Chains A and B, each alone.
Chain A
C-alpha cells in the first residue's frame, strides 16, 4: 500500500523521530525516578521491620520464646490491619501467626506474589532451631509502581500521539507551502514571468529563497522583454529592406520585355519569399518558445480539423504518386488554438508528402485512448533512423538526404513548439519501413 504523501514528508519523519527520542529519554528518566523512590520506600519499610525485630528480639533475649510469642500475639491483636507480619516457626516445621514460609537463612528476603504486594521479610534464627520472621507488605511500593507504570505508559503514548499530530500539522503546512511553490513554478514554466512567489506567510526560513527567486524572475523578465522587443524590431528592420528588395524586383519584372529576364526576376522573388517564409517560421517558433505568443484555448474539433486536412492533402499526395487515407474517430475535441493546430498538422502532412516518396501510403489517424486524444500521421516511406530522431525536432535539422528537397528544416521544430504549448506529447517512431509522428493530447473535452 502506498503511504499517504503527508506521512512521507521529511517534516513528519523528523517530528516522529523527535517524539520517539523524547519518549526514550522520558523512559530512562522515569526508570531512575522509579527505582529511586522504590529503594527509598523499601529502605523505610526495612527500617520499620528492623526496629520491630529488635524490639521483639530484646524481649526474646530477656524472657525466651514464650514471651516472644506472647508479645507478638499482643501486637497482632492490638494493631488493626494492615499491620506487620509475624512468623514463628518451630523446629517441627509448625508455623504460627502469619504462616509465611520462611527461607531457612537469616537476613532479608523478598517474597513475590502475583497481583498482590510483595512481602519484605527479615528472618532471624532463634535458639533451638526456632525461626522468627518479621515482615511487611510492600503495599506502598506496589501501588506506587503500578501507578507509575500506568502514568509512564500514558505519558509516552501522549507524547508520541501529540508529536505525530504536530508533525502532521507541520508537514501539512509545509506541503501547502510546497504546493503554492509548485503552482507558482508551473506558471513560470508556462512562460508567465509576471508571477511572483508569495512571500507572505512563507516564514523566515523560506522567505530569503522566495526573495531570491523573485529577484531572479525580475531579471529574466527584463531580459526577455529586451529580447522580445529586439526581435520585433529585428523583424521590422529586416522585413522593411527585404520588402523594398521585393518591390524593386517586382517593378523590374514588370519592365522586362524578354520572357527570360522576367522569369529570372520571378525566380529571385520566389527565393526572396522563401527567405521571408523561413524568417516568419523562425519568429513564430521564437514567439511560441519564449511564451510571448498568446495561445488561445478554444474548443477545437480535432476530428473535423483532421478530416478537412486529409481531404486537402489527399489530391496533393495523389499527384506525388502516393495514397492518403484517414482513420479518424469523429467528435474528438481538444482545447487549443485552431490556427496553430492547423499549421501543426499541415506541417506533418507536408513532411509526409515530401519525404515519404512515390508509392508511399500515408495515413492520418485520430483515436481516443481513455481521456487522451492520440493522433498523427504515419507513412511507409524511408522513415528516420532512431539516432537522428531527437535531432530532427531541432531547428534547421534535416537529414543530409533531404537537403536537396525544398523546405526550411523548421517544419518539425514548429510542430514541436506548437505541441509543447498545447501540452501535447510528440513522438517519432521509426516503423521500418516508415515513420509515425504521433501526438498525444492529454485531455479531450
Chain B
C-alpha cells in the first residue's frame, strides 16, 4: 500500500477499525453494476464504478484501489486486456474477474492474471466472501507451519490436529477442509469456495458433499468439546472463529 494511499485513508478517517477496503468495479451491465455496488456499500466498503474498459483503466491507474472487480466481457477494451495492461505496468492490485463464460479454459486463462474468478450470475454473498479472501491474501503468502483458532491447533508439517491438547484423527479430506477454514479464520467461506479449493471441483455437484463433510468435521472437532468453532453463516457459507473473541 502506498504512503499516499495510507494518508488518503487517514484523511477519510477510515483507519479507525483496521482499514476500509476500496474497490473499483468495472462492469458495463448497469443492472449488475447496481446490484454489486449496493451490496458493496451495504457491506461497508468504498466502491467506485467504471462502465467501460477505458474509464476503468484510467481510474485503476490514477487512484489506488485495494481490489479490482472486472467484468471480462467489456465493450471496447475488454477486461482481460485491461488487467494484462495493468499487470504489465507493474500493478499488483488483487483482481477478481466476473464472467458469463464458465469454460474451464477461460477460467485457467483468467486465473493466470487475476486472483479469483467468479461466474455470473452469482450470489452477492459469494462475491463478498471472495473479496474477503482476496483482500487477506498477501498475509497468507508467508509460509505457516501451524494454524490456531482458540484451543484448536493444526500442525501443518506433522499433519496433526489437536484441540484442548487432545489429538483428533482426521481423514485427508477433512484435514484439507479444516486447513482451508483455519487459513480463512474469521472470514466467511462459501460452499463454492470450498468446492474449488478443497475438492478442486469447478462445477456444481448434485449431492451435498460440502454439508456432509462439514457435519463430519464438526462431530470430530466441535461436538466432543462443547464449544462450536465452525459456524454456519446463513445464506453465505461457513466460518471458523473463536466465538469468544470478536471476529478479526
Please report A residues at the B interface, Cβ cutoff 8 Å: 232, 235-236, 239-240, 242-244, 246-247, 250-251, 266, 269, 273, 276-277, 280-281, 283-284, 287, 293-294, 308, 311-313, 315-316, 319, 337-340, 342-343, 346, 350, 353-354, 406-407, 411
Contact = CB atoms under 8 A, between A and B. Distances in A.
B32 A315 contact: no
A312 B213 contact: yes
Contacts of B124: 247, 250
Given A294-B105, A315-B216, A346-B205, A247 B173 contact: no
A316 B212 contact: yes
B103 interface: yes
Interface string B114-152: 000001111110000000000000000000000000000
A342 B205 CA distance: 11
Given A319-B212, A406-B206, A236 B100 contact: yes
A311 B207 contact: no
A407 B199 CA distance: 21
Q: Count chain A CB atoms within 10 A of each CB in B29, B31, B121 and give the residue with the most.
A: B121
B203 A280 contact: yes
Given A240-B120, A343-B202, A346-B201, 9 more contacts: A235-B102, A236-B73, A236-B101, A281-B203, A284-B203, A308-B172, A312-B209, A342-B199, A406-B206
Contacts of A277: 203-204
A260 B24 CA distance: 36
Interface of B: 29, 31-32, 35, 38, 73, 100-105, 119-124, 171-173, 199-209, 212-213, 216, 235
Given A242-B121, A342-B200, A235 B32 contact: no
Contact of B208 (A280, A284, A316): A316
A354 B207 contact: yes
B237 to A, nearest CB: 15
B102 A283 contact: yes
A368 B22 CA distance: 55
B200 A339 contact: yes
A10 to B, nearest CB: 45
A213 to B, nearest CB: 29
A308 B198 CA distance: 11
A315 B172 CA distance: 13
A276 B104 contact: no
Contacts of B212: 315-316, 319
B202 to A, nearest CB: 5
A232 B100 CA distance: 9
A137 B202 CA distance: 102
A319 B207 CA distance: 11
B16 to A, nearest CB: 27
Nearest to A238: B100
A109 to B, nearest CB: 98
A250 B213 CA distance: 27
5 contacts: A239-B121, A247-B35, A280-B204, A312-B209, A411-B206
Determine which residue in B73, B102, B207, B209 has the highest number of CB atoms from chain A within 10 A of its CB, and name it.
Answer: B207
A243 B36 CA distance: 12
Nearest to B176: A308
B203 A343 contact: yes
A353 B201 contact: no
Nearest to B204: A277
A267 B125 CA distance: 17
Contacts of A354: 206-207
Contacts of A246: 121, 123
B201 A240 contact: no
A101 to B, nearest CB: 103
Contacts of A287: 103
Contacts of B101: 232, 235-236
